Amino acid sequence: MTRNFEELLFHMKAIARSSDEWAAGFARSILKQSKRPSWRPSTKQEAVMQRLVAERFTETEEVELIE
C-alpha cells in the first residue's frame, strides 16, 4: 500500500520515538526537514518512509491465546 506524503509524516512522529535508533534518527531528520514549506522527500527518502510505515503495520507480536 502506498501512502500519501501527509500520512507518512504523521507516522514518522511515532517512528521517531521507536527503539530502533536508526529508524528513530531518520524519522527525526525527516520531521525536521518537513518544517520547510517547499521541502519534499527525495525518491530514496520516500521509499524508506514507505517501508518504515509499512513495517509498523505488519509487525506481529506473539500472543498467547487463553481459552
| Lookup: cell for 25 | 534518527
Own/partner pairs, 30-37, CB within 8 angstroms, 24+ separation: 34/9
Residue 60 has pLDDT above 70, yes or no: no
- The rounded distance, in Å, linking the Cα atoms of 3 and 6 is 8
| Lookup: cell for 27 | 524519522
Nearest to 17 by CA among 28, 7, 32: 28
Residue 1 has pLDDT above 80, yes or no: no
pLDDT at position 56, please? Answer: 86
The torsion angles phi and psi of 59, rounded to 5 degrees, stand at -65, 135
